[in-house]
């Protein structure tokens, strides 16, 4: 089993609503996709990183999983 991962790295950005707390969380989505976000604590600005991952059993599954991960990133970007 292997993992397919897409990573979106934006920045450096300022996220005042975090009040210096930072973020390091993972969320389950659908069809075994997970989304992770991170932003370091106690900084004025930094890179915000969002990634989505899913597992594949066979190399032939990679393209289909990649399409689904791109769709998940697009949905998360609209939120």
**pLDDT over threshold 90, residue 66:** yes
pTM exceeding 0.75: yes
pLDDT in tens, 7-63: 999 999 999 999 999 999 999 999 999 999 999 999 989 999 999 999 999 999 999
CA 17 to CA 77: how far, in whole Å?
Answer: 18
pLDDT bucket at 1, cuts 50 / 70 / 90 = confident
**pLDDT over threshold 90, residue 78:** no
The DSSP H or E segment spanning 47 is strand 46-56
The first and second tokens of residue 2, run together, are 């292997």
């Amino acid at each position: 089993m292997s993992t397919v991962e897409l990573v979106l790295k934006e920045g450096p950005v300022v996220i005042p609503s975090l009040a210096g707390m930072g973020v390091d969380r993972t969320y389950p989505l659908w069809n075994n996709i997970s989304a992770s976000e991170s932003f370091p604590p106690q900084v004025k600005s930094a890179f915000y990183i969002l990634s989505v991952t899913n597992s594949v059993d066979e190399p032939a599954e990679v393209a289909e999983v990649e399409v689904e991960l791109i769709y998940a990133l697009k949905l998360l970007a609209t939120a």
